Every structure is written in structure tokens, then in C-alpha cells.
Amino acid sequence: MEKPFLKSLCLRVIYRGICRPILKFFVGIQYPDCSFLKDEKQFVIISNHNSHLDTLSLLTAIPSDILWKVRPVAAADYFGNTSLKAKFSNFFINTLLINRRPKKDDVANKNNAMDKMLEAIDEGYSLILFPEGSRGEPEQMSKMKSGIARLLAQRPGLKYVPVFMTGMGTSLPKGGVVPLPYNATLHFDKPTLPDSDDSYAIMEQIEKHYAEMSEKYGIKEDDDDD
């Protein structure tokens, strides 16, 4: 996969040169050392989801020289509902736009979410996914959907990188407008290879992984399965 020079430079300037200092010094995000990601050929970052700033925070944590090949999975009906918005999202956020409610033609033409993610993986990209599917209540983690497990089951050897974000729910939560100063931390765990190629077993492994991180970092888990 050939590195797109202009896009790579643009992403490096935006996220590491501009956004990271703003989030760090004015919003209060604490960043870990994520240089270990450069040693991985490919990965899928998975994270809890409480704030409009979550994707931006993850992108600003990724080493600048691999930013161009890490694609956040995003809803096409929100980030790509016009052709201009889709082009903007693709170039400046590097999004992989998916249809959350695919039509019959999308499924028949392999244009559904899973096929698009598998295609991106096969092209050499890494992904950012929020297994909860949407922003939950501040400082609570909702039940994760099984898409990540099915993705990993179909691409044996692909590692997932669990991230636990604490404090993010106090700034730009669901329904929020203005980001307020706060202290938040991005907790990256090591890249992990699934112990099985069965999607149910993989899902159990991920849920156990997050239960351990939840206990360690003190975030609440939502017991409601709905």
C-alpha cells in the first residue's frame, strides 16, 4: 500500500501538530506512550464511547507516521450524508464510512458495514471501532455489539487494541455542545490476539478484557442489555 504523501502530511499537522496540544493543555487529556503501535503491522483499536471528542482523542494519540493508515469507522448517514461532507471526512479524518442501516442492494453488492471493514483490512489499513455502537451515558459502558468479534473471526491473526477512556463523559457528551475543561485519560492496553477463531469465544474474551479494565480504572458498566 503506497503512502499518500499529501494526506499523510495533512493528518500529521492536524492531529499531532494542532489538535493534540489543544486537547492536552486546554481540555486536559492525559496521553500514554503509544509508540508500540508502530511495531504492529495492523490492528483494530476498540474503545468505550462517551463523547464527541472520542475519535479525535484517539487519532491524536496515534504515532504521526502511521496516522494515514488508521481509519475510524464512522456512520455514513452522519459523516457522509452529502458528497462534500464525505470527501471532507475521508481526507481530513480518514474515515471509513459505513451504512448503519444497509438496504437490500447494499447487502447484495457487498456494500454493508462488515464487507467494507474487511475490504479496508485487506487493503492494509488498521481501524478504530466503538463496539458499543453509539455514545452512552457519561462514565458508563453499555453492552458491546458483536461486530468486532465477527470481524476478528474472519481475519485470523489480526490483533485488537483495547482502549479505556476515563473522564471523557464530562466533555461533549451525548447532547452536549461546549467542551469544558476536565481531566481525562486514554488507557491503552497491549495489542491482543484472539484465543479462538470463533466469534462467540472472541466476544467473551473482549468482554472479559473490558471487565478487567473497568475494575482497574473505575468506570461503571451498564447492566441494561437493551
CATH number at residue 155: 3.40.1130.10
Residues in CB range of 153: below 8 A, 6 or more apart: 194, 197, 198, 199, 202
- Reported as a pLDDT band with limits 50, 70 and 90, residue 208 is very high
Q: Is 174's pLDDT higher than 60?
A: no
Mean pLDDT of 150-165: 96
pTM of the entire predicted model: 0.87
Q: What is the pLDDT of residue 226?
A: 43
CA distance 113 to 125: 15
- Residue 226 forms part of a structural domain: no
CA distance 98 to 78: 10
CA distance 78 to 70: 20
Place of cell 471532507: 88
Q: Which domain holds residue 74?
A: 5-174+181-221
**Amino acid (1-letter code) at residue 226:** D
Look at the chain and report how many structural domains it folds into: 1
Q: Is 132 left (phi over 0), alpha (psi -120 to 50) or beta?
A: alpha
Residue closest to 69 by CA, chosen among 125, 31, 107, 15: 125
Lowest mean pLDDT among 123-132, 189-198, 202-211, 213-222: 213-222
- Residue 151 forms part of a structural domain: yes
- Residue 32 forms part of a structural domain: yes
- Residue 77 forms part of a structural domain: yes
Strand partners, 192: 160
Q: Is 107's pLDDT higher than 70?
A: no
Mean pLDDT of 37-47: 96
Q: Is 138's pLDDT higher than 70?
A: no
